[in-house]
């Protein structure tokens, strides 16, 4: 996956990520919601390019981030079939 903005200038409240081309953002977000994670589709052209966003707000720790990344990986692998 590729990030929209490079780390040195990225927001600390929202992370924007492009999914692999063969994964549809709406289906990915639905599956993540079932697994307890709320993500958001990009807007306009960004959504058409399979971008999703993660809000990095509230009390977030390293363990939570690791758990999210694990579920993202599992979900992408499920959708690849």
Write the pLDDT tens digit of every residue in 45-79.
Answer: 999 999 999 998 888 889 999 999 999 999 999 99
Q: Which domain holds residue 28?
A: 2-80
Q: How many domains does the chain have?
A: 1
Does the predicted TM-score (pTM) go above 0.75? yes
pLDDT of residue 8: 83
Q: What is the mean pLDDT of residues 4-18?
A: 87
pLDDT category at 12 given cuts 50, 70, 90 is confident
Are 18 and 5 within 8 A, CB to CB?
no
How far is it, in rounded angstroms, from Cα 25 to Cα 27?
A: 6
Summarised one tens digit per residue, pLDDT across range 13-35 is 889 999 998 999 999 999 999 99
Closest C-alpha among 73, 72, 26, 76 to residue 50:
26
Question: What is the CATH classification number for the domain harbouring 70?
Answer: 3.90.1150.10
DSSP 8-state symbol, 13: S
pLDDT of residue 56: 84
Dihedral angle computed from the Cα positions of residues 51, 80, 66 and 32, in that order, rounded to the nearest 10 degrees: 70
């Amino acid at each position: 996956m590729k990030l929209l903005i490079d780390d040195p200038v990225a927001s600390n409240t929202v992370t924007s990520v492009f999914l692999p081309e063969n994964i549809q953002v709406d289906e990915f977000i639905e599956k993540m919601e079932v697994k307890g994670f709320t993500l958001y589709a990009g807007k306009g052209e960004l959504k058409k390019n399979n971008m999703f966003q993660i809000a990095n707000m509230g009390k977030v720790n390293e363990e939570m981030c690791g758990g999210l990344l694990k579920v993202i990986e599992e979900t992408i692998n499920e959708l690849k079939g």
